[in-house]
Amino acid sequence: MADAIRAERLGKTYPHSKDAALVGIDLRIPAGSVYGLIGRNGAGKTTFVRIASTQLMPSEGEIWVLGHDAVAEPRSVRARIAVIPQESRPLYFLTIDELVFHHLRMRGMERAEARRRTDQVLGQMGLADRADTLVSRLSGGLRRRAMVAMIFASDAELLFLDEPTTGLDPLARREVWAAIQRAREGGRTVLLTTHYLDEAEALSSRLALIERGRVIVEGTPADIRGRVKYPFRVTLPASLSQSELTSYGEVSGVAGGWLVFAREEAARELTRLALGRNLAVAMAPISLEDIFLQLVGRPLTEGESAGEEVA
Ligand SMILES: Nc1ncnc2c1ncn2[C@@H]1O[C@H](COP(=O)(O)OP(=O)(O)OP(=O)(O)O)[C@@H](O)[C@H]1O
Ligand SMILES: [Mg+2]
């Protein structure tokens, strides 16, 4: 399959900063896929999105988008992409309906087609009953959804979504997920950045984990799971002592007890041991959050413990 985006040795150092934001990035993003870029704050995700969407010049390397050199031929790229920047806000003085409709018209879409797509997307995104509400009167989450609706309604082949679901309630997040899935079914390519690893895993056919401007691991969610030493997690109460646990795997203290990353057999043994003592125990395959912890050594969101999962 052709690549929607191909980056080779891509690097970026912002003016007046001594550390590079991106270093030697080699990435291929297959056309027709949902591709997840994950990494902590400041890892370089937005920098990559801005370069690939022709808003920022790289310092080094090459980037090809939909078959065009994004640096030399940005205009050829722009007509075929749509972007939701991380910090963007929609125009306040329009209604949701006008926002979407005029965006499509500005992209050059015929009036009747723009009308049809606007009605369709507002229905799909649960915004139909608020179509005539001014954007300035919407909550932050609804504004974000209106932006998402706007770019999904477009005919762009490649969509850049930089943290589209940040600040959305769980139901609204699911609506955005459904929109992303529809885009993929329609043959479009979506580049998604997110801090929600469940989201990245649920939606993406491939993922790249970026840390300090470098790709640390890349592949399908299954590939990435295969890369770690301990594919299971066991949570146990604090009444067990750490010394009892260390032989099973990698032990760390978490709120209310212990988290042990272990191989499957050791995880089962540990679970049996705990059950034998009538202790609460949960064993589960590791989450992407855990993978991040094992590969990078710190949680994705510094200071927060990894999400608990019950087997
Ligand atoms: N305009 C800028 N000028 C100078 N440095 C910048 C600029 N934008 C970003 N940086 C730096 O580049 C690095 C990567 O930032 P970037 O915004 O790409 O990270 P990110 O992965 O999108 O983070 P987040 O998850 O917080 O959105 C950071 O060290 C950041 O401070
Ligand atoms: Mg960002």
Three-point CA angle 290, 213, 164, nearest 5°:
65
CA distance 264 to 7: 37
The closest residue, in CA terms, to atom 25 on ligand 1 is 41
CA distances, 67 to each of 85, 126, 154, 162, 269 (Å): 22, 35, 20, 22, 53
- Where do the domains of the chain lie? 3-225, 228-296
Radius of gyration (C-alpha) of the chain in whole angstroms: 22
Which is it for the CA torsion 58, 62, 68, 71, positive or negative? positive
The closest residue, in CA terms, to atom 3 on ligand 1 is 14
Residue-wise pLDDT for 11-57, tens only, equals 999 999 999 999 999 999 999 999 999 998 999 999 999 999 999 99
Residue-wise pLDDT for 78-137, tens only, equals 989 999 888 777 777 899 999 999 999 999 999 999 999 999 999 998 899 999 999 999
Banded model confidence at residue 303, pLDDT cuts 50, 70, 90: very low
Q: Of 34, 9, 30, 28, which is closest to residue 221 (Cα–Cα)?
A: 34
Mean pLDDT of 196-207: 91
CA 48 centroid distance within chain: 13
Q: Does domain 3-225 correspond to CATH entry 3.40.50.300? A: yes
Mutation pick for ligand 1 pocket among 14, 86, 194, 197 (CB with most ligand atoms within 8 Å): 14
The closest residue, in CA terms, to atom 2 on ligand 1 is 14
Q: Does domain 228-296 correspond to CATH entry 2.170.120? A: no
Distance from the alpha carbon of residue 48 to the mean position of ligand 1, in angstroms = 10
CA distance 104 to 117: 9
Q: Is the CB of 46 under 6 A from ligand 1?
A: yes
Distance from the alpha carbon of residue 162 to the mean position of ligand 2, in angstroms = 7
Of all ligands present, the nearest one to the C-alpha of 301 is: 1
